[in-house]
Amino acid sequence: MPRDSELVRAACEGDAGCLGMLLARHRAGMYAVALALLGHSQDAEDALQEAALVALRRIGDIRDPEAVGPWLRMVVRNVCRSQLRRMRAVPVADVAGAVASDRSGGPPDPAEVLDRHALRDWVWSALEDLPPGQRLVSMLRYFTDVTSYEDIAALCATPVGTVRSRLHQARAKLAEALLNSADRAHDDTTALSALHLRLAEETIASAHRGQLASALSEWWSPQADVTWPTGRHTGIDYLPTAFDHDLSDGVRHELLNVVASREVVIWEAAMHNPPEDPFHCPPGVVWVHFLDRGRVGRVRLYHPRHR
């Protein structure tokens, strides 16, 4: 039977199966910590699922591979303490804000960590297996700055309770997939992300040149439906007009992040207003593109409350 240190080194090199073995080997101790701190089986299970995803993102942070057991229990303890802080100190309506603010001093950004090792492809393959609703809320929650339940709910046009439920279900399925650690080949996520980053950069650059209509015609369906932050629906033809209005008013868009799966592509962009009119537009906008056979069939635009 391989030693913990051997499994850690293999997991750091991208072997999801070895990470799954580590989690299975230490599950009892991790669950005991969660039960001791939360005192409720369902809350403890939620904490265990969250801890598995944190371990996935941060396995490369372990300095002593022989001490992975205490490290995993520490991860569970931190997850539980975070849950307790939110439950005790934050009104229900403000829980999401606490989650977002807690990130500032918390673990590194998941996307940045995953970019550094081969487990990224496994993660995205597992995400692709989720139902569309669970996949979208997971992409927003873990790979964009749209992390609050309220913002995710508004963007997805669904109740906050549904967002919580979908995230819970997604965490459970991802944690189960990690424990099962399928050995199948995974898509090349880096190539997919690079493709959509290039498309996003070219589209924004074309928009600043007043050529957005031409850029959209290349990878958007002519019948694409656009849902604006106000809830208004328009066709593709109105987007260049709206963008040109922003440009004429001195507003510039800066692409900050692109998150891509096979069926959903998310852009995050800053909106820089002119000095003489600093509140002309909200500080940022999120574009969620829903693809149909490789072309954009629907788009939702949303202004997060915090950029």
**Which pLDDT does position 180 carry in this prediction?**
61
Chain segment 61-85, per-residue pLDDT in tens: 888 999 999 999 999 999 888 878 7
Phi then psi for 140, rounded to 5 degrees?
-65, -45
The larger pLDDT score, comparing residue 191 to residue 103, is at: 191
Chain segment 134-166, per-residue pLDDT in tens: 999 988 987 888 988 899 999 999 999 999 899
Chain segment 206-258, per-residue pLDDT in tens: 999 999 999 999 899 999 999 999 999 999 999 999 999 999 999 999 999 99
**Which pLDDT does position 100 carry in this prediction?**
38
**Which pLDDT does position 92 carry in this prediction?**
35
Burial of 214 (0-12, 13-18, 19+ CB in 10 A): exposed
The reply to whether the predicted model has a pTM over 0.85 is no
Taking residues 81-91, report their average pLDDT: 61
Residues 60, 117: contact at Cβ < 8 Å?
yes
Closest CA to 307 of 84, 148, 133, 118: 148
